[in-house]
Structure 1
């Protein structure tokens, strides 16, 4: 199975979506390399980055599910590794 390396950048503006967001991330745990979360209290938001090594369909599905949550924005950036151009 071919996989890609990607980063999903997430901004959470609605704290009521955090529980569902964490549940979704848990379901994709086998593909997640690491996670970093930064609470930005001055703006009352959270900034989360998710590093993944997964099939393209899994990365797209995760990003799409996160982006459908109220008050959550998710954008994906893919690595350009040798042989993946």
Structure 2
């Protein structure tokens, strides 16, 4: 399959509860993650993580699917065609 590049936005609403599972999954998929930026949004009590990824659509779908199943976590992705 062809690799695609994209950005995944992760919103963590309950850091203490959700962060360990989020980090576990990100470590599992570390080989497809090119870059990661995390920003605490204290005013809204949210944490935002932006990932730059390069992988096939099955891998990206598996990553976003696992993250999206974690309570208090929202995930959106956008992929570009090379």
TM-score w.r.t. the length of structure 2 is 0.94
Larger Rg computed on CA atoms: 1
Unaligned regions of 5+ residues in structure 1, if any? none
Number of matched pairs: 81
Partner of 1:58 in structure 2?
59
Q: How far is 1:80 from its partner?
A: 2.9
Partner of 1:10 in structure 2?
10
Provide the rounded CA distance (Å) in 2 between the counterparts of 1:58 and 1:14.
Answer: 26
**Greater helix proportion:** 2
Deviating beyond 2 angstroms after TM superposition, the runs of 4 or more aligned structure 1 residues are none
TM-score w.r.t. the length of structure 1 is 0.91
Provide the rounded CA distance (Å) in 1 between the counterparts of 2:57 and 2:37.
Answer: 21
Unaligned regions of 5+ residues in structure 2, if any? none
Name the Cα RMSD after superposition: 0.9
